[in-house]
Amino acid sequence: MNPFSDLDDATSVYSFPGKGRHVLDALTGYIKRHNLRPGDRLPTEREFSMVLKIARSSIREAFSQLSALGIIESRAGSGTYLLRHVSPDTIYMPLSLSVDNLAEMLLMTLEVRRGIEIEASMAAARRRTQSDITRMRAALEAIERTHHSEEGSGPADFAFHMAIYDAAHNPLFRQLLEQMRDRFGRFWERPFGRHDFASRSFPFHRTLFDAIVAGDAEAAAAETRKILDVVEEDIRDMGP
């Protein structure tokens, strides 16, 4: 289905001014109405703005929210794509945390991440499929290739952990952890200006992978704790 084919007749349904939830409802209503599926390209901000009679800045803000939630993805030179099913009935759980000290804020999120990530690794050990294992292995091998490079293994490390969350086959794991990471995106590119941040956790990625492949949930939990312990120690050592 072409998502641009009948933008004009959507005007009668969504031609109202609005912000916040109203804009999200309009966007997700259009997605449902046109039966768009993950992988489909969406109309542009400008096209949505014209059809919905809503300021382009409000559309942009709604796109940003949906992107942070991992529902859509903007691809340079290509457009914006739907990543996951969404409708006006979708429940959103945005995160809000106001702390002036970055290290303190990171430690707060780490406390929450511990429970989520440990459970995710245990679920992955119980539910992983061969396809999940293939994705995790590819990301792990990328980490091992780039670990000692000047650029570091950040993107590969992120892909590895995302593959674990997906292997848990519970979409809330990935969504919650992506939101936490997205809020500190710039920080995680080069934590505290150090390319070697949490590098001591490197060997535990292989042992975590092995535990998940073996279906050993308790071992997966233990290896995840080791990784998070290193992250916590480095935040405390490098923070002001």
Between 7 and 67, the more confident residue is 67
The pLDDT of residue 14: 31
User: What is the arithmetic mean of pLDDT over 230-238?
Assistant: 88
Between 67 and 151, the more confident residue is 67
Q: Where residue 18 falls among pLDDT bands split at 50, 70, 90?
A: very low
The pLDDT of residue 130: 97
The residue ranges of every structural domain in the chain are 7-82, 102-238
Domain 102-238 has CATH 3.20.20.10: no
Lowest mean pLDDT among 29-33, 110-114, 166-170, 179-183: 179-183
The first and second tokens of residue 214, run together, are 């073996």
DSSP conformation class of 196: T
Q: Where residue 176 falls among pLDDT bands split at 50, 70, 90?
A: confident
Angle between helices 7-14 and 21-33 (to 10 degrees): 140
Tokens 């092995």 correspond to 210
Share of the chain above pLDDT 70, in %: 78
The pLDDT of residue 48: 87
Q: Where residue 28 falls among pLDDT bands split at 50, 70, 90?
A: confident
The class that CATH gives domain 7-82 is mainly alpha
Between 163 and 100, the more confident residue is 163
**DSSP assignment of 39-84, as one string?**
TPBPPPHHHHHHHHT--HHHHHHHHHHHHHTTSEEEETTTEEEE-S
Cβ–Cβ under 8 Å, residues 202 and 148: no
Statement: the pTM of the whole predicted model exceeds 0.95: no
At 197 the three-state DSSP class reads coil
- Between CA 198 and CA 229 the distance in angstroms is 9
The pLDDT of residue 214 is above 70: yes
The pLDDT of residue 102 is above 80: no
- Between CA 76 and CA 18 the distance in angstroms is 28
Start-end of H helices in the chain: 7-14, 21-33, 45-52, 56-68, 102-127, 130-146, 154-167, 171-183, 185-189, 202-214, 217-238
26 by Cβ neighbours in 10 Å (0-12 / 13-18 / 19+) ranks as buried
Share of the chain above pLDDT 90, in %: 35
The pLDDT of residue 91: 61
The first and second tokens of residue 53, run together, are 């009679």
Alpha carbon 192 to its chain's center: 22
At 9 the three-state DSSP class reads helix
